[in-house]
Amino acid sequence: MPEKDLEFNKNEDRYKQLVQQLHSKEAKTRLGGGQKKIDEQHQKGKLTARERIQYLTDKGSEFLEIGLFTGEGMYLEYGGCPSAGVVAGIGYIHGRQCVIVANDATVKAGAWFPITAKKNLRIQEIAMENRLPVVYLVDSAGVFLPMQDEIFPDKEHFGRQFRNNAKMSSMGIVQIAAIMGSCVAGGAYLPIMSDEAMIVDKTGSIFLAGSYLVKAAIGEDIDNEALGGATTHCEISGVTDNKFPNDKACLDYIRSLFNKMGHFEKAGFDRTDSRPPKEDPAEIYGLFPSDRVKPYDTLDIINRLVDNSEFDEYKALYGKTIVCGTARIDGWAVGIIANQRKVVKTKKGEMQMGGVIYSDSADKAARFIMNCNQRKIPLLFIQDVSGFMVGSKAEHGGIIKDGAKMVNAMANSTVPKFTIIIGNSYGAGNYAMCGKAYDPRLIFAWPSAQIAVMSGASAAKTLLQIRVNALKSQGKEITKEEESSLLKEITDRYNDQLSPYYAAARLWIDGVIDPLETRKVISMGIEAANHAPVERFNVGVIQT
């Protein structure tokens, strides 16, 4: 247990404030379109998206939400789009892990914004990578028409979801859909491309064009219920398989389907009985510096995340600015690659800055990644990285070659990768430590994370110099006061973009979590990944 000095207490107070802000944001976001809209759902005899998921999943089980903060601060001219108008994540039905996607009709009637399409595709990606069954709880007005040009025709737009429906079907991934509200136009294909589609009587409807459009297009007078309600599609068209009197009856049927589902081949990752860390995880709050440039020992953080605080370090005396080693998290074997934030001393007596990747560290990490692939051990990257070392000594020592070696090994890794950003995530360091571009199965951030090309201070000074030079080229002089004001404006704007919530809103990360939730995220992530057999590792070309 660390000595709780003034610095520890200061760090702890600051981090608890960050966690409180996180919980406050979570509570607000989970209200979706607000209490009034929730009440309207209930008045129609419908459950909300979150209530449907809670009823569907096993009582007392965990639900790992993906993309809670997606869309935060976006589309404010249209009233906002909390959680991108869709609630999604990994949950359990009759003990079976699955992916659940539920349109939130309290947010613009569940309409699809551009970020909604991105979130839905991310959820399908998780299902495909991990070969998890998918449940779609459909209640959507379709494309948000004022932004149709940003959601309809491109490769990663709305239509990609239906392509994924077909691909998942060919992969043997079970897809079950329940039409619990509106399901219109192109969106009608999603449930019908699933393996089984059910519909709730009187509240569910599905058609390519609603009654108003039918009247305008062909002059036919018909109401929506007769056009595409539950009776029509279960008794006349045969489009849907079964109808149910209410949401709960429909969800009960989905549970019954999972209760009879067969089992498939698994990857075979090693798991033993879970043991809590010996070191108190709550001490992370006090160990993580409130001043992000201050050093700390990353091993102190790792020992509060892993089972029994046992960590078998790899090459402990070499490449010290990256820590590598094996441990267990909730019983699962895992290989950890983490940036060491304290200043370290090499055997030659040289001092290396914490959080910076040097040639020897990159070389060590590449070798460790290959070893974990050889032994079928999932990888966990813990990011607090400023980037690769620069300067003539680093360049002459081959930092580009060694960095490329690490990136190559990481990119070609076939065991599942998971990323937790706890502090800085800058520049090429983000890439080498398995940023979003390198397909981590899950990527989450702590409230203390920052994600950008470079730190706020460095970027602001660079941007200021560009602006000042541009003004001078126009023959304009700038006073010291104006320069200070301009620097503050640039710094504030850039710092907003550094926020983990800014990243989460755009799905650069899957969410922001309390550090105490890290073990749950990694455990559920490896359990999900265990459903998908691992291919043979082939690292490709690596210069030695």
8 A C-beta contact, residue 372 and residue 415:
yes
| Cα dihedral 76, 78, 82, 83 sign | negative
Three-class SS state of 425: strand
Percent of the chain residues topping a pLDDT of 90: 72
Crossing angle of helices 114-130 and 160-170, in 10° steps, is 10
**Res 430: pLDDT:** 95
**Angstrom distance (rounded) from CA 70 to CA 74:** 9
In sequence order, the 6+-apart residues with CB closer than 8 A to the CB of 7 are none
**Angstrom distance (rounded) from CA 243 to CA 308:** 50
**Angstrom distance (rounded) from CA 491 to CA 464:** 9
**Res 306: pLDDT:** 98
- E-strand spans in 427-462? 442-445, 450-452
Tell whether the model's pLDDT for residue 313 goes beyond 60.
yes
**Res 540: pLDDT:** 59
- Give residue-wise pLDDT tens across range 346-383: 877 788 888 899 999 999 999 999 999 999 999 999 99
**Angstrom distance (rounded) from CA 337 to CA 420:** 11
pLDDT band at 283 (very low <50, low <70, confident <90, very high): very high
Task: Report which of 140, 197, 115 is spatially closest to residue 508, judged by C-alpha positions.
Answer: 115
Task: Report which of 284, 369, 283 is spatially closest to residue 325, judged by C-alpha positions.
Answer: 369
274-290 average pLDDT score: 97
8 A C-beta contact, residue 144 and residue 187:
no
Tell whether the model's pLDDT for residue 280 goes beyond 60.
yes
**Angstrom distance (rounded) from CA 111 to CA 147:** 11
Lowest mean pLDDT among 58-62, 218-222, 315-319: 218-222
Tell whether the model's pLDDT for residue 1 goes beyond 60.
no
Tokens of 109: 């009637």
Percent of the chain residues topping a pLDDT of 70: 97
> What is the identity of the amino acid at 220?
E
Tell whether the model's pLDDT for residue 542 goes beyond 70.
no
Cα–Cα distance list, 261 to 52, 125, 257 (Å): 21, 22, 6
- E-strand spans in 185-229? 196-200, 205-207
**Res 22: pLDDT:** 98
One DSSP character per residue, 259-282 reads TT----------B------SS-GG
Q: b/e map of 10-48 (b: 16 or more CB within 10 Å)?
A: ebbebbeebbeebeebbeebeebbeeebbeebeeeebbb
Task: Report which of 447, 442, 452 is spatially closest to residue 523, judged by C-alpha positions.
Answer: 442
**Angstrom distance (rounded) from CA 187 to CA 161:** 9
29-48 average pLDDT score: 97
Q: Is the pTM higher than 0.85?
A: yes
**Res 2: pLDDT:** 61
Cα within 13 Å of Cα(469), Cβ side: 6
**Res 240: pLDDT:** 93
- Torsional class of 507: left (φ above 0), alpha (ψ -120 to 50), beta (otherwise): left
- Give residue-wise pLDDT tens across range 175-230: 999 999 998 876 788 899 999 999 999 999 998 877 778 888 898 888 888 888 88
296-309 average pLDDT score: 98
Cα within 13 Å of Cα(171), Cβ side: 23
* Residue found by looking up tokens 């075979």 in the block: 268
Task: Report which of 263, 242, 245, 265 is spatially closest to residue 254, judged by C-alpha positions.
Answer: 242
- Give residue-wise pLDDT tens across range 409-458: 999 999 999 999 999 999 899 999 999 999 999 999 999 999 988 766 66
Q: What are φ and ψ of residue 116, in 5° steps?
A: -65, -45
Task: Report which of 515, 501, 530, 529 is spatially closest to residue 382, judged by C-alpha positions.
Answer: 515
Q: State how beta strands 175-184 and 134-140 pair.
A: parallel
- Give residue-wise pLDDT tens across range 110-142: 999 999 999 999 999 999 999 999 999 999 988
324-353 average pLDDT score: 92
Tokens of 397: 């020592």
**Angstrom distance (rounded) from CA 496 to CA 325:** 35
Crossing angle of helices 399-411 and 359-374, in 10° steps, is 20
Q: Which residue has the higher pLDDT, 99 or 185?
A: 99
pLDDT band at 403 (very low <50, low <70, confident <90, very high): very high
Tell whether the model's pLDDT for residue 478 goes beyond 70.
yes
**Angstrom distance (rounded) from CA 252 to CA 447:** 37
8 A C-beta contact, residue 12 and residue 289:
no
Tell whether the model's pLDDT for residue 321 goes beyond 80.
yes
* Residue found by looking up tokens 């914004």 in the block: 113
Average pLDDT, whole number, for the chain?
92
